[in-house]
Amino acid sequence: MDRMIGGAFQPGRFIGDQSGYSFVSDLRQAEEEIAKLVGADPVRAVTLCETFLAGCNAKGRGDRRLRCELLLFAGGLLCGWLKARQYAGL
């Protein structure tokens, strides 16, 4: 799962103006995999969500359009993080 998240963010690759939407669409697949963990291993899901949010923050520092796409995506990810924390009793 960690490799999936790392691979989804494509470290070292610049994501240009026109690629932001498709880039974030690819991240949604990893988000869905994390969501599946909430019931089975909520503590792991919390950790993965936090890692994912940190990746969004790091990747969104460059391009303005990508940052906007990532902010919208991160809003949904935060909801998943809260749900996982509730399941974990945190």
Residue 81 confidence (pLDDT) above 90: yes
Residue 26 confidence (pLDDT) above 70: yes
Q: Which residue has the higher pLDDT, 14 or 80?
A: 80
Q: Which domain holds residue 80?
A: 2-8+16-88
Q: Which residue has the higher pLDDT, 27 or 10?
A: 27
16: left (phi over 0), alpha (psi -120 to 50) or beta: beta
CB 71 within 8 A of CB 23: no
Which ranges of 10-63 does DSSP label H, i.e. alpha helix? 20-40, 42-59
Q: How many domains does the chain have?
A: 1
Global pTM?
0.76
